[in-house]
Amino acid sequence: MKPVYLAGRGLACALGQDMQGSLDALQSGGVAPAAFRLPGEMGGSFPYYAIAFQQKDWNERARDLVQRVAREAGAQHMRSGVLFVATSSFDIGAVEQGAAQMDYDAFSRKIAAWLDWSGPVYVINTACTSSLNALIAAHALLSAGEEEEALVLGVELGNRLTLGGFAALQLLSQHGCKPFGQHRDGLVLGEAVAALKLSTREPALWQMLGGANVVDGSQPTGASAAAVASMYQRALEASGLAADAIDLVKVQAAGSPGNDAIEAQGLRAAFPVMPHLVSLKTALGHTMGASGAAEIALLTACLEQGIWPHYADPVDGELGVSLAEHMPQSVRHVMATILGFGGSHATVVLGRA
């Protein structure tokens, strides 16, 4: 099996329109979410982490952001590799504007055209775990020697349907994101476009070691503690590591009263000695299908530059877990986790060279 490296990354999110801008904003304390107002009986005003880069036309805005993050990841010259597009909402924002039809094949061709991509294109939609599952698929192709390069592109941009659906399910907070928080009361959604370039021919600081996706549909909109524990165990087996080799876990911890408790239960079952934990939802919001790629891009950059998120709300002591208030001194192995609708539980393992 060939080693697979994280050879490039690009990020546009509420923090900033590139990686350095995002890091600078996070180091300065982050940004406050904007207000997203939904009309109608189930409407209201909800905090929302929007990308400040604004254009009225959805397609033009998406094209510019996709091209920006791909360039930042060093993918502008890639033609022979594989493109994985990870999303949960596709281009529904353009459909709402009357600028697109509900055609997923047309969406993938549109993304490929924006990048002048001539190689294979795969679209992954497993709700919030989309970009992590895209990473797992890309790692399988590259480590087996079937491809030498892949670009994983997470795309999640604002639309009324996503916000309206979460609001109707009463899953959104009206006050803010509180990961594992004592006063957590729901999710805060956000936008992100992120690119991760994987390569077997460009050694880099971070290597992808493996991952796992476990599906348990017994709770269609929630997590399963047994599935969380199984996901970690399978990912450790795939990467050839023991639980005590993990220095840091980037958890989901999106601020859901029930899901955060279930995730904490699964963590306690998987790790006899709890590693350091970090959540990035207070910085980005929950960026749905793009969240895995966006949070890995930001986390690896934070670890390299010594920048760490701040949590305003105290952790709920009944959960039996805590979030690291400061960056751990030595981080060699990292797990990055996303939990999603449909019972999908996904995590990947990164090793620092």
Smallest Cα–Cα separation from 203: which of 4, 10, 1?
Answer: 4
Helix (H) or strand (E) holding 240: none
**% the chain with pLDDT above 90:** 90
Q: How far is CA 95 from CA 73, 90, 260, 288, in A?
A: 28, 10, 33, 19
- Integer Cα distance of 52 and 34 in angstroms: 10
Reported in sequence order, the residue ranges of 157-244 that DSSP labels E, i.e. its strands, are 192-199, 206-215
Domains and CATH numbers, the chain: 4-199 (3.40.47.10), 206-352 (3.40.47.10)
- Integer Cα distance of 88 and 36 in angstroms: 19
264 CB-contact burial (10 Å; exposed 0-12 / middle 13-18 / buried 19+): buried
- For the cut 70, the answer to whether the pLDDT of residue 42 exceeds it is no
pLDDT for residue 36: 87
Mean pLDDT of the chain: 95
pLDDT for residue 41: 67
pLDDT for residue 53: 84
- Integer Cα distance of 184 and 260 in angstroms: 9
pLDDT for residue 80: 75
Model confidence over 112-126: pLDDT tens digits? 999 999 999 999 999
Model confidence over 193-208: pLDDT tens digits? 999 999 999 899 999 9
- For the cut 90, the answer to whether the pLDDT of residue 37 exceeds it is no
